Amino acid sequence: MRIEVVQKRMAIGNKYRISVNGTECFFAKSKLLRFLYEATLQDRDARTVVTIKKRFSLLRALYDLQLGNGRTFRFRQKSLLKPVYTCANGAEQYEIFGHRGRKYSIFRRGRQVAALEKNKVVILEGDEFFMEADDALAQELLCGIVLIIDNIHHAHTNNNTVSIDFGNLLQARPCDESWKPRLNSEPGTDRAMP
């Protein structure tokens, strides 16, 4: 599955268009005039499928990601120096690793399930993220993770006409450039229930 997240910068707040396999499926927007970041992800029928709320934390990024079915995942930063995060709800846990540059990998049960890359140059518009992921994963959860990563690393560039993102300098583990997503028809796929 291929997910593309395209940000439209606004004077205050951000809006996003999200496509899955080339079809626009979701829209997201950050709420205005909030002390802490808050955003909603809606499907094409304007139903809220994800709500993201940043929690107060002095040193580490901490967010709640609530899915439309009521399940809440806690997204937290594990390292102060390296871009390493977890997104967990009970036993269901994802690990997110930032690599040198603008790439991220998402792991579930010790196996890579998604790869994410952000655009380098932004002129007038906003950030763009491109993700390849196993078909069996929950699209809404992956989109929520992308919105949080955008808020953590790129919220400060909102008013720039042109910005260049050189990405992360440190990494906890190297990027596996040869990784490919699993398709539904491949053995070993299991639906990650949101």
CB atoms within 10 A of CB 21: 11
pLDDT tens sequence across 116-170: 998 755 555 677 899 999 998 999 999 999 999 988 876 654 555 545 554 565 6
19 contact partners, CB below 8 Å, separation of at least 6: 3, 4, 6, 25
Where residue 34 falls among pLDDT bands split at 50, 70, 90? Answer: confident
C-alpha angle 1/87/191, rounded to 5°?
Answer: 40
User: Which residue did the predictor score with more confidence, 167 or 32?
Assistant: 32
CB atoms within 10 A of CB 110: 6
In the chain, domain spans: 2-164
**pLDDT confidence of residue 189:** 45
Mean pLDDT computed over 21-46: 91
Instruction: Extract long-range pairs of 97-100: CB within 8 Å, 24+ residues apart.
Output: 97/171, 97/172, 97/173, 98/167, 98/168, 98/171, 98/172, 99/168, 99/171, 99/173, 99/174, 99/175, 100/167, 100/168, 100/169, 100/170, 100/171, 100/175
**pLDDT confidence of residue 132:** 95
User: Which residue did the predictor score with more confidence, 185 or 151?
Assistant: 151
Q: Alpha-carbon distance 136 to 72, whole Å? A: 19
What architecture does CATH give domain 2-164?
A: Beta Barrel (2.40)
pTM: 0.85
Query: What integer best gives the mean pLDDT of the chain?
Result: 84
Tokens encoding 168 = 């992360």
